[in-house]
């Protein structure tokens, strides 16, 4: 089973990904975490990515697609923060079909009010969490990532859930989609 968690930055994808990957024994792939690990290790890729990430813009499709391609295995995967562009979404479909003979099963969109997101992110205090960068990241999300909703709606894979409230309540809402009979 392959799941994509979709949602604006700060919508809680990382937290929910941890719960869901444990619940369903999925390989958790977060391109944001992978990029931050490159920065910490001070690799050439990390140095290149840092400036882009600090500004709130997206790292190039080629870089993140290659990161994902190298980490797909036969286990089901929970994609967190990937894909973020239509180009990435199409590349992911091809990768899954050709390397894993599989496909995306569920796309879960975490819906959170934008003002709540800004407050959450300011409280989180990451390097790219200042208000200017946050607003740019929200714009980038609206322009480049939101079109994915249409893309997956057309494939009947998109499910939108309320992403506000207690962490375990949000996880439970997602479970009702993945286990509709429980």
Q: Which of the residues are catalytic?
A: 13, 84, 124, 126, 137
Residue span 109-148 as binding mask against ligand AMP, x where in contact by CB under 6 A, dash where not: ----------------------------x-----------
User: How many angstroms separate the Cα of 66 from the Cα of each of 5, 56, 63, 144, 181?
Assistant: 19, 21, 5, 19, 37
Q: By CB under 6 A, tell whether 158 contacts ligand AMP.
A: no
Cβ 64 to ligand AMP shortest distance, Å: 4
Q: By CB under 6 A, tell whether 56 contacts ligand AMP.
A: yes
In the bound state with ligand AMP, the residue whose beta carbon lies nearer, of 116 and 179, is 116
Cβ 171 to ligand AMP shortest distance, Å: 19
Q: Which of residues 65-84 bind ligand AMP (CB under 6 A)?
A: 81-82, 84
Torsion angle of the four alpha carbons 72, 74, 78, 80, in this order, in degrees rounded to the nearest 10 = 0
Residues 6+ apart with CB under 8 A from 106: 1, 2, 3, 4, 157, 159, 177, 178
State the CB neighbour count (10 A cutoff) for residue 163: 24
């Amino acid at each position: 089973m392959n799941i994509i968690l979709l949602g604006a930055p700060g919508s809680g994808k990382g937290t929910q990904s941890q719960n869901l990957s444990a619940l369903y024994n999925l390989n958790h792939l977060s391109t944001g975490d992978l990029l931050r690990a490159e920065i910490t290790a001070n690799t050439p890729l990390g140095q290149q990515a840092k400036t882009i990430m600090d500004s709130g813009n997206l790292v190039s499709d080629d870089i993140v697609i290659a990161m994902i391609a190298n980490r797909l295995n036969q286990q089901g995967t929970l994609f967190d923060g990937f894909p973020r562009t239509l180009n990435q979404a199409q590349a992911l479909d091809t990768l899954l079909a050709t390397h894993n003979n599989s496909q995306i099963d569920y796309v879960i969109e975490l819906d959170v009010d934008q003002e709540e997101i800004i407050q959450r992110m300011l409280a989180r205090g990451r390097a790219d969490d200042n208000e200017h960068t946050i607003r740019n990241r929200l714009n980038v999300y609206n322009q480049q990532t939101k079109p994915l909703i249409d893309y997956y709606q057309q494939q009947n894979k998109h499910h939108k859930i309320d992403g506000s409230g207690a962490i375990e309540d949000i996880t439970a809402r997602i479970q009702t989609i993945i286990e509709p009979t429980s």
